[in-house]
Amino acid sequence: MAGLFTIECGFRYEIVRKIFEGGMGIVYEAEQHGARDFIKRVAIKVVRQSYTSQKMFIENFIGEAKLVADLIHTNIVQTYHLGEVRGVYFISMELIRGVNLEQFAQQLTDRTRPLPPELAVFITSRVARGLAYAHSKTDREGREVSIVHRDVSFKNIMIAFEGDVKLTDFGIAKARGFLQDQEGEVVAGKADYMSPEQADFQITDKRSDIFSTGIVLAHLLLGHNIFKGSSAEESRQRILGKPTPDFRLLSPKIDDRLNEILNKAMARNLSERYVSGDELLYDLEHYMYHGGYGPTNETLGRFIRDVFAQNSPKPTPDSKEGTEIFPQSK
C-alpha cells in the first residue's frame, strides 16, 4: 500500500492527503499509529526521490531535522522524528490546522477584507518571539548554536485556526555544527524577503532575519510587498537599491511609532537595525499593549475563522490514490 509504511521503532504512518508540494520535497498529512489504537495526526515532509542521490542535500535535510528537534517553542513548528524508508528520508512534524500567510493574504484579497493593523503587528510579534528563541538557542554545553533562519517569508509562517502563529521550514537555516553552507557563494532564501546582506552574497547573522521580519510586517500592513519585482533578480535588486520608505505616506494605518519600528527593522546599516528578535519583540508588544488590552491568539483565531468561514483551503487529492511515496523494494 503506497499510503502506509512501518518503521522499525514499532509505530507506523498512514498518509491521508498531500498538503504542499515544493521543488525539493512534499508535505503530507498523516496518521501516526501506535499501540492500542493510538492515533496522532502529524505532517510528514518527504524528500523528492530525484534528490535522494545528492549527498549535500540529504546531509542538510538530516541537519535540519537535528537542528529543529530541540527547538520546542509555541511559535515554532515542532519536529518529532527523522526517518528513512528504502533510501528516502522524511521528517515527522507538528500538524498545523490552518494556513500560511500567503494563503491568508490571498483569502483577504478574495474577500476584500482588510487586515486590522493591530493583528498585523500581533502576527509579526509572534514571529519575532519564535526568532528570539531560536537566535538564543544553546547546545548542551551552553554554547550558542547561532541559528539564522534565512527564509522568513509569507510561505514559512503558519497561522492555526485557533490563532497560534508558527514559524516553519528551517531547511536553509544556518547553525554551527548542523548544516553545510555555501554562504558568500550562493544566495539562499526568497528574493523578495531577503535582507540586503543576503541579496549581496554576504555573510549573515540574526539581524538578517530581523530585516525579513520587517518586510513581513510591511507586507501585512500594506497588502503588498514593496520589494517584489517581476522576477527574482528584480526583487533582489530592489532589496539592494530601493530605499526604505516613510511608510506613513503609504498607508493611513501606519502611525509615527509603527513607522519607526519598520524603519529600524529594515535599516540598511546593520548598526542601526534591531540587534535581536527580543528587541523587536519588545517594541512590537509595547506598541500593542502600552495603552491596555490588545490582540491575543484568541482575537486572531476568531478573525481567521471568520475570514475562512471555518473552512480550511481545499485539500489536494488523497495521496493514496495512485501516488508512490517511497520506492518499492526490488
8 Å CB contact between 86 and 326: yes
In sequence order, the 6+-apart residues with CB closer than 8 A to the CB of 305 are 161
Claim to verify: residue 169 and residue 214 sit in the same structural domain: yes
Claim to verify: residue 268 and residue 131 sit in the same structural domain: yes
Claim to verify: residue 44 and residue 188 sit in the same structural domain: no
Q: Of 47, 71, 94, which one is at a domain's C-terminal end?
A: 94
- 280 to each of 154, 164, 209, 303, 319, how far by Cα in Å? 18, 19, 11, 24, 41
Angle at 82 between CA 76 and CA 87, to 5 degrees: 140
Domain containing residue 63: CATH number: 3.30.200.20
Supply the pLDDT for residue 111.
Answer: 93
- Residue 140's identity, in one-letter code, is R
Domain presence at residue 24? yes
8 Å CB contact between 298 and 275: no
Domain presence at residue 276? yes
| β 39-47/98-100 pair status | unpaired
SS (H, E, C) 115-161: CCHHHHHHHHHHHHHHHHHHHCCECCCCCECCCECCCCCHHHEEEEC
8 Å CB contact between 161 and 313: no
Q: Which of the residues in the chain have pLDDT under 50?
A: 1-2, 5-9, 183-185, 315-324, 329-330
Cell of 217: 510586517
Domain presence at residue 149? yes
Q: Annotated catalytic sites, by residue?
A: 151
- 6: which strand partners? 12
Helices (H), the chain: 55-69, 101-110, 117-135, 196-199, 206-222, 232-241, 256-265, 277-289, 297-307
Residue-number span of the structural domain to which 55 is assigned = 4-94
Claim to verify: residue 211 and residue 274 sit in the same structural domain: yes
Q: How many domains does the chain have?
A: 2
Sheet with 25-33, side-by-side order of all strands: 4-6, 12-21, 25-33, 39-47, 88-94, 79-85
Claim to verify: residue 9 and residue 73 sit in the same structural domain: yes
What is the phi/psi pair of residue 150, to 5°?
A: 70, 5
Domain presence at residue 87? yes
- 198 to each of 132, 207, 284, how far by Cα in Å? 19, 11, 24
Q: Of 31, 61, 94, which one is at a domain's C-terminal end?
A: 94
Claim to verify: residue 194 and residue 279 sit in the same structural domain: yes
Average pLDDT, the chain: 84
Claim to verify: residue 49 and residue 172 sit in the same structural domain: no
Q: Of 94, 121, 142, which one is at a domain's C-terminal end?
A: 94
8 Å CB contact between 265 and 211: yes
Claim to verify: residue 291 and residue 175 sit in the same structural domain: yes
Domain presence at residue 326? no
Claim to verify: residue 90 and residue 107 sit in the same structural domain: no
Domain presence at residue 259? yes
Domain containing residue 213: CATH number: 1.10.510.10
Claim to verify: residue 202 and residue 272 sit in the same structural domain: yes
For 50-80, the pLDDT digits (tens) are: 767 777 777 777 777 777 788 889 999 998 8
Domain presence at residue 320? no
Supply the pLDDT for residue 153.
Answer: 93
Claim to verify: residue 160 and residue 197 sit in the same structural domain: yes
Alpha-carbon distance of 175 to 66, in angstroms, equals: 11
With cell 548542523, the residue in question is: 178
Domain presence at residue 328? no
Supply the pLDDT for residue 181.
Answer: 54
Claim to verify: residue 200 and residue 276 sit in the same structural domain: yes
Q: Specify the pTM.
A: 0.85
Taking Cα atoms as reference points, which of 78, 82, 77 lies closest to residue 100? 77
